[in-house]
Structure 1
Amino acid sequence: MTVHFAKMHAHGDDFVIFDMRGKANPITSEVARRLGDRYRAIGFNQLAVILDCDDAAAHLLFWNADGSMLDTCGSATRGVADMLMRESNRPCLVLRTNRGLVTCTRDLDQRVSVDMGTPFNWQDIPLTEELDTIALPLSGGPTACSMGNPHCTFFVENLESVNVAAIGPMIETNPLFRDKTNVHFVQVIDRGRIRLRIWERQQSALSA
């Protein structure tokens, strides 16, 4: 069976998109895991499958490179939205994810954004115990949230001084995070700009 796909990149994140509208979906956790191998297959941080949907432009399913599923992925959703907007010549559309409906828009500079909704509560991140997610009891006082996959964010004064490759995996596997976590390091430049580096859970350090 031959299946076509698109490979996209966004701020150091890479993802693969399969458009299976009107077709049987061949992607399973095992298939996703095999395709995620960067040495013997395509390789990606996330895989997205576009499916038919009755109440939105499409229904998206997402997998990590290890074959596990996640409810949503902002970068991959923006990539799919860009494809479908070009296809339909529309500046706005709604997509369904396993987290719910999300609205995608294209601005005058042709940039695509996704309204990911309100972050989940602590038990849905998920954390192993109830904590103040604005300031976790970890060195550096990071915050935690989930938009369908877990995130832990450190705000730092100087991004260049952060050893992402050393700190990232320690936070990723911290017992507070039941399903591990992505780790973000953010330097605020001004009210309209930030610098960001990301350690992807079960992936490698990324820069943006």
Structure 2
Amino acid sequence: MHLLLHRRYYNYEKIPDLLEEFEINVYPSMLIKLFPPLVHNELFCKYCLDINLVSEFRSRSYTNGDSNIVSVNSFCPLCNHIDHLHCSCSNCKEIRKQKKQAEEENKRNVLMQAFLPISIDIPIPNELTLKDAVYLFAVKEHSATKDLEFIKPYLEGPSITSLAPDEELRCDIIEHLNRRGFIQINPLINSLDAFKFDSENKVVGYYRNKILWEFLPNMDIGEKKRIF
């Protein structure tokens, strides 16, 4: 019966007449849902053992005379995996999640090698040079967090003035403080999006406006507040 009904349906016989003749009590638009899916004997689900992929039949209102009456994407009737690069079944989502986690872990390891923490003895307050003191107070006032843990020297906005009047001076401030051990990039704290990676996931730079610099990394909050 299914084969006969199927053939007559795609021969564009009137659906109400078919429903009456075959004594089917559904809305005309639902008739297509009653056809069992086409089984692809040569296609198997990559996740479910020995389960063939299937394709649903397309409504004749969408075929427009097209001889292809089945859906383009075949799928697994058990796990809903679709034979497509962008499948969103739970298995494919989990694999993409694991792949992303592995890539992020690899990038984080690369960052750890590129920005290994360097232990530098920070001068005590009475040993600071004038340049040290001026630059430290400048970055502290400009963009230090309330707990004095980080600074964001490239932070700018309508209500935020630039750290320095020109880029050359700003770079000199950052390079000097970094060289003296007053600030450093922590590869574990910063977002991966703040760094630039090449096609082999090697770090080639960073976006200055996204980087958080650790401020006085060898001091605790109490020591910092005693200075500032």
| Shared fold (TM-score, shorter chain, > 0.5) | no
| TM bracket (short chain) | under 0.3
Point out the structure with the larger strand share. Answer: 1
Q: Pick the structure with greater CA Rg.
A: 2
TM-score scaled by length of structure 2: 0.19
